[in-house]
Amino acid sequence: MAALPVVLAAGLCGTIQAEYIDGFEQGYRFWANRGGGNTHVEIINGELHLGVPADGVATIGYLCSHAIPQSEPLVFSVDVVSMGSTTWRVGMWCEFDRGAEGAPSGGYGVFRMIDSLRIAKWWTDSSGQFGGIWLAEASMPALRAPETMRLRLMCQGDSLQMVGESVLRTNGKMLASVPFLDTPGVDPTLALAVNDNGAPFLHPPRNLACDTYGTAAGPGSAVIDNLVCSHPPLPPDLAIACTIDHQAKVTWDGSAVLLESSSPQGPWAPCIAEVGNVENRCTSRTSLLGAQRFFQVQPGRHFSVGSQSFIEWRTAKAVAGAPGGFLHLRPWLGHAVIHGTDLGEGDYLLRRDVTGVWWRDCVASVDIVAQDTTVEEGVALGIVLRAKPQAGFWLIEEEGLPEKHYVGRLTFKQPGNPLESALSITGPGGEVLQETPLPAVDLVSDYRLRFWAVGSHLRAELFDFADLANPVATCEASDERSPTGIEALCLTARPNGRTQIMFDNFCLWGVWTPAEW
């Protein structure tokens, strides 16, 4: 429950007025990542309650873009109201994109353990190899009263000074302080005889997150409140530079998504050009030939999921309790394959391991890879956008597609007419809003399915990989019953048949909006 006014003591720098990130008074404004069984995430009386099973984890996070200053620390803080006796840790950490092409991404964090306070650094190099170390720690007794945990970050030339702190929430009494100076060279840690890897992260972080873990001895639980920052976020910015080959190089803040229009009055839609991200700065190139184009940014994100990351997705039936088997999702030959036998007729959902991110204007695409097996009549693959759960989180392993949603779907062979495919859009309750028949797609080729939900305008497109500029079929509809919601993939199966679809590269560009329930 938020308490005003909010200030952060800053030592010699004086008192810094805090900027609320979340006081948990305005509903679910964060994304959540759940790992390990039945995880509980709920706001009760203005505080966030987290519960995880033994060895489980729950993480909540926010888009973040704060400059790390040279003259005073950037301070993040969160109130740890309580933590269960078998809770391994309650953490707060910020995550950084690569500082340069080929450099590692990673982050820094402060963690309230059962019997200590620790700070940590971790990184993922350009090959995807992960590493991490505890940098420093201080012994503490078990949490008996609410504490405020802080993470201070300040640039010192080409080094980063970080300090983890824990103080009593009631009076600010210092309980523990663990400092560390991360330098461009190899740093011996203060707590453990190991070395960290690489230069410090000095550019603005892209995510701020809190988490809690259970232990092997039992489940974990924690109550947190008042996540704040000492400085306001950087304003979204946008820069455009023309190149000699009639291209525009567009760069913008990584906590935003790029929108484009043919008119300064709109309508605006996500720009779906390929996006690169370095130092939490997004870069994209787009042609300047043809009609004039206008750009702006809105809070949001572009993300893409490749074949190896699909193993972190979960599958569930779109109708809770429906009969039939289950889908299996696995990497195969550099792609992802969904495979099911003895499935009940109907839809099955595939969802990534992040929930709670809601989109307004958005577009998503998925690549359908050439198949080496025959696809049964009636089998379809679709993109779900703006699925709106009735209350709480739509958990990734939870059965049931919310009543309000949109699906842009490709049916590979129409039931009873295998020489015809169909591109369709369905809306709330599964109502077919529009359908476009087309000659049966030849799955010896690769295709891309793309689905737009911008305002009330819905558009499904199918592309042959031989020409990704011009769709082979389109389907359009208009509906405004579900203006915001969550994304997913959807597979339509036939009864007693063998269903197998190979796919890759799920991408989404979207304007982020707080959850609405």
CA quadruple 464, 465, 471, 475: dihedral sign: positive
Segment (H or E) for 483? none
pLDDT of residue 187: 59
450-483 tens-digit pLDDT: 999 999 999 999 999 999 999 999 999 999 999 9
pLDDT band at residue 110 under the 50/70/90 scheme? very high
Please say whether the beta carbons of 94 and 107 come within 8 A.
Answer: yes
pLDDT of residue 114: 93
Q: Structure tokens of 499?
A: 């269903």
Q: What's the pTM value of the predicted model, to 2 decimals? A: 0.80
Please say whether the beta carbons of 297 and 256 come within 8 A.
Answer: yes
375-397 tens-digit pLDDT: 888 889 999 999 998 766 676 77
Region 257-286 average pLDDT: 85
Q: Is the pLDDT score of 184 beyond 70?
A: yes
Q: Is the pLDDT score of 8 beyond 60?
A: no
CA quadruple 400, 402, 408, 414: dihedral sign: positive
Report the candidate in 325, 188, 271 with the shortest Cα–Cα distance to residue 508.
Answer: 271
Is 64 or 185 the better-scoring residue by pLDDT?
64
- Of the chain, the percentage scoring pLDDT greater than 70 comes to 83
229-252 tens-digit pLDDT: 999 888 878 888 887 777 778 888
CA–chain centroid gap for 509, Å, is 11
Segment (H or E) for 33? strand 31-35
Query: CA distances (Å), 286 to each of 245, 262, 272, 290, in order?
Result: 11, 14, 9, 11
Is 283 or 335 the better-scoring residue by pLDDT?
283
Q: Structure tokens of 430?
A: 């599964």
pLDDT of residue 516: 65
State how far the Cα of 459 lies from the Cα of 476, in Å rounded to an integer. 4
pLDDT of residue 428: 96
Dihedral through CA 124, CA 129, CA 133, CA 135, nearest 10?
A: -40
Report the candidate in 206, 253, 235 with the shortest Cα–Cα distance to residue 63.
Answer: 206
pLDDT of residue 240: 85
304-353 tens-digit pLDDT: 887 666 666 777 888 877 776 666 676 666 677 776 666 667 788 888 76
pLDDT of residue 308: 61
pLDDT band at residue 39 under the 50/70/90 scheme? confident
State how far the Cα of 459 lies from the Cα of 406, in Å rounded to an integer. 10
Report the candidate in 53, 55, 21, 24 with the shortest Cα–Cα distance to residue 40.
Answer: 53
pLDDT of residue 201: 92
pLDDT of residue 13: 32
Number of residues that make up the chain: 517
Radius of gyration, alpha carbons of the chain = 24
pLDDT of residue 331: 64
Q: Scanning the structure block, which residue is given the tokens 């707060």? A: 92
Region 426-430 average pLDDT: 95
- Min mean pLDDT across 81-85, 194-198, 266-270, 441-445 is at 194-198
pLDDT of residue 367: 93
pLDDT band at residue 284 under the 50/70/90 scheme? confident
